[in-house]
Structure 1
Amino acid sequence: MKRFAIEFSYDGTNFFGYQGQPNVRTVQGELENALERIFKERIYTQGAGRTDAGVHANGQVAAFNCPIDRLTDKDIKNALNANLPEDIYVKKAWEVDKKFNPRFAAKKRIYHYFISMREKDVFKRNYVWHFRYKLNVDAMRKASSFLEGEHDFSSFKKGNDKKNPVRTIYKIRVLEITNGLILIRVEGRSFLRSMVRNIVGSLVRVGLGQWTPEKIEEILQARSRQEAAGTAPPHGLYLYKVLF
């Protein structure tokens, strides 16, 4: 039996997150529904990461066993795209080792978060965080440097996340890519639930001048979720790429 991996994108607007759940629409659920239509049996998938409701993906990766050995990677891509809804698209498929699990095999995950300081565009309301106040990008960039490296990120986790809070962020970039549009790019091996959005929320406080950049280091060392800012909205976040 062959095993395939796929890289795919999705618009998270109308999903209750990535992970399959009963009685609600999820990305994993739609993917496995499409595979069931193709193979006439339920096919279990393993994803590289879980995104929350409203979060998007440019380069999510999932793997699954293929019960028909004659199918090629091109066949898998075409069959899935013919059976998936319009808000999910498979960009490529490739054969992998039978033990390949993208969650554990991933060496780096890259997230992008977009903040727009421009006048609100109703057509982009589900894809950027419209923020009506001017942000100091240089201060946000300085603040982000305190988060790079291996740290206990308890201050930036979701309250009920029981996983080991020690994580490594390889790099954070804060860029004003066009006038009024900010990109925050966060690279790491793995992340706690809502960790990137909680980081963004705190960097925004710095950008507003409410906190100094050094405040981020204090929050990190406090290891308390109560010390950090609120969580940034989900619709500005994208799982941009997973590297193996």
Structure 2
Amino acid sequence: MRNILLTIEYDGTNYAGWQVQPNGIAIQQVVETALASLLKETVRLHSSGRTDAGVHALAMPASFTTTRTIPLKAFTAGLNSFLPPDIAVREAIEVTPEFHPRREATEKHYRYSIHVSPNRAPLARLYSWHLRGPLDIDAMKRGAAYFAGEHDFAAFRATGCAAKTTVRVVNSVTISADGELLLIDVQGVGFLRNMVRIMAGTLVEIGLGRRSPESVRELLLSPARSAAGATAPAHGLTLVRVSFGCFNHLEKNP
């Protein structure tokens, strides 16, 4: 039995999220269907986590097991021939049998993109949140600094989040400008449902002068979801990378 790890890039605009669900087409469902067409057998993908409806990914890792002995290149070029234009396998690696993306993940990197301009940009509309601005970036950076470390992020999770604990470790939050784009990069061990989007919404309120940078510290000390900022739109969020600890792969095909 082979254990294959795929790195998948997708535009989440037309999907109900990563995970298979009854109320819409999910990325996982589309990739599993493509794999079934390629392998002539049913397989189940196991990812490092999930993304919500409308969220994008540059590198979502997902693994599956198969008895088929086809070459690894079939899981890139071959599988991509069965996938729609907004989903693609960028890399395939054969990993050891015990490897699981969720258990082995050591850090996840998300990026929230904001288009700051008085005018709309049609080519940016699917991948960034348009705000007319201006935003006080220095104040946003001061607020972002409070997120680093281990905290109770209860104020930054969606209603209905089923996580057993709201304590999470955020390694860093950085804010940078790229032309009219303002990028909020968040790296951490794991995240609650909508956590990064609520963090982004709170930082935007700081940038607009509607709350102080110090309010982030207060939210982390006395968490209440109603006191935090609004949930930023899903289409501005992208999963950039998932990092793993040391693990063995048997063969690799880019």
Tell me the TM-score normalized by structure 1.
Answer: 0.97
Q: Percent identity?
A: 39
Task: Name stretches of at least 5 consecutive residues in structure 1 with no aligned partner.
Answer: none
Match of 1:139 in 2: 139
1:87-126 to structure 2, matched below 5 A, reads 87-118=86-117, 119-126=119-126
2:46 matched residue in structure 1: 46
Structure 2 unaligned blocks of 5 or more: 245-254
SS state of the match for residue 83, structure 1? coil
Q: How far apart, in 2, do the equivalents of 1:89 and 1:113 lie?
A: 21
Moved over 6 A (4+): none
CA drift of 1:187 comes to: 0.1
Question: Quick check: 2:16–2:23 contact (8 Å CA) kept in 1?
Answer: no
Which amino acid is 2:5 matched to? Answer: A
* Separation in structure 2 between the aligned mates of residue 22 and residue 194 of structure 1, nearest angstrom: 20
- In the alignment, the residues of structure 1 paired with residue 131 and residue 121 of structure 2 have an alpha-carbon distance, to the nearest angstrom, of 11
What is residue 210 of structure 1 aligned with on the other side?
210
| Cα RMSD (Å) | 1.0
1:154-194 deviations in whole A, cap 9, x for unaligned? 0001111131100000000011122x210000000110000
Q: Which residue of 1 aligns with 2:79?
A: 80
Q: State the shift of 1:66 in Å.
A: 2.0
The SS at the match of 1:197 is helix
Matches within 5 A, 1:156-235: 156-163=156-163, 164-178=165-179, 180-235=180-235
Shift of 1:116: 0.6
Partner in structure 2 of residue 65 of structure 1: 65
Higher deviation after alignment, 137-146 or 74-83? 74-83
Name the SS of the counterpart of 1:100 in structure 2.
Answer: coil
Displacement, 1:34? Answer: 0.3
CA contact (8 A) 1:39 1:67 kept: no
Residues 5 and 94 in structure 1, CA contact (< 8 A), matched pair in contact too: yes
Deviation for aligned residue 1:124: 2.0
